[in-house]
Amino acid sequence: MVMTEELLISGIIAFVIAAVCGPILIPLFRRLKFGQQIREEGPSWHQKKSGTPPMGGFIFMIPILVCTLLFARTTLTVCLVLFAMSFGLVGFIDDYIKVVKKRNLGLSAKHKFLLQFLFSAVFIAVSIYAFELIDTKIFIPFAKTEINAGYLYIPLALFVLLGTTNSVNLTDGVDGLAASITFVVCVFFAVLSYNMEMYDVTVVNGISAASLLGFLLFNHHPAKVFMGDTGSLFLGGLVCSNALLLKNPLVLIIVGGVYVLETISVILQVMYFKKTGKRLFKMSPIHHHFEMCGWSEVKIVIVAVLVTAILAGVAFVACVNI
């Protein structure tokens, strides 16, 4: 009962902080002329979004950090959120270069990857060797058993961290899409961690889900603010660190199915174009393909959320003895 009350109170506080941050930060970003320049490669109708402030990720990052520090009682949850913040820092640098230095491509792919690799390596070192928050065991969904990956765990964890953060980043291309999907994913991790009696992780995910709801007040279509790489890389770090701390990185393939599809669509598009000189999709990532097929942004988000909710149910069955 105490945990339920804590979850409810922390979630309400997080939502309120996010709801208050929006009206404060959005006008501030506009006064500072932090307007997103829309890339010409995207759908032509996205050009009308030019000038919408990015860096809106701060709207949910602030309540997540504040409420975690208020309600977290273990190194585990603080480590989870601080790691996500480090990825948010990489995104902030990228956004800063785009909106302040007026270089639309932001950080080079090489520099972004190196920073992400550095923070991922630090997270693994701290989690395994410094605080022993996690070990090298991995849960196998559906088989519902654990295997010890040994030294193979480190490259696998690096792949999960780098792949997931960039997948979430690719998903952030339609108003409300990345935030809505990640809301469902956070709810899933809250339920899973509760079932595993890792209650502080449950509270952090409840805080994260509530903060994202507060952010969606301003990010739903038509968006008044974008989360930017600041927010999308933070969410990627949050999602994958959840999976690693719960010893369940493979579950991301299921519950993060939309993230995976977005990434695969980009890879297939590039490979197919290099081989044939033609496009496999009308545009990638795949949410742009659906836009080009006539789907509205709202329809894309609704379908993606429903798919993610179904996948979350499948993932829960795959991980829990019912």
Domain boundaries, the chain: 2-137+147-252
Q: Give me the pLDDT at residue 73, please.
A: 74
Between the alpha carbon of residue 187 and those of residues 39, 165, 297, 309, the distances in Å are: 33, 18, 23, 10
Q: In this predicted model, what pLDDT tens digit does every residue of 49-70 receive, in sequence order?
A: 777 888 899 999 999 999 998 9
Indicate the helix (H) or strand (E) that contains 188. helix 177-195
Examine residue 285 and say whether the peptide bond preceding it is cis (omega within 30 degrees of 0).
yes
Return the number of other C-beta atoms located less than 10 Å from residue 23's C-beta.
13
Q: What share of the chain is helix, strand, coil (3-state, %, to 5)?
A: 75, 0, 25
**Residue whose pair of structure tokens reads 């490259």 in the numeric block:** 155
Q: What is the DSSP string of 87-99?
A: HHHHHHHHHHHHH
pLDDT of residue 35: 58
Contact between 249 and 243 under an 8 Å Cβ cutoff? The reply is yes
Placement of tokens 């959840």 in the chain:
242
Residue 212: its pLDDT value, please? 98
| The model's pTM | 0.93
Give the whole-angstrom CA distance, residue 286 versus residue 134: 35
Per-residue pLDDT of the chain (322 residues; tens, 9 = 90+): 557 888 999 999 999 999 999 999 999 988 877 755 555 555 655 667 777 888 899 999 999 999 998 987 777 778 778 888 999 999 999 888 887 766 666 688 888 899 999 999 988 888 877 677 788 899 999 998 999 998 899 999 999 999 999 999 999 989 999 999 999 999 999 999 999 999 889 999 999 999 999 999 999 999 999 999 999 999 999 999 999 989 999 999 999 999 999 999 999 999 999 999 999 999 999 999 999 999 999 999 999 999 999 999 999 999 997 6
Q: How far apart are CA 91 and CA 228, in angstroms?
A: 7
Residue 128: its pLDDT value, please?
78
Strand-pair partners of 140: 145
Q: Which two tokens stand for residue 280?
A: 């496999």
Q: Which residues in 33-67 are b (16+ Cβ under 10 Å) and which e?
A: ebbbebeeeebeebeebeebbbbbbbbbbbbbbeb
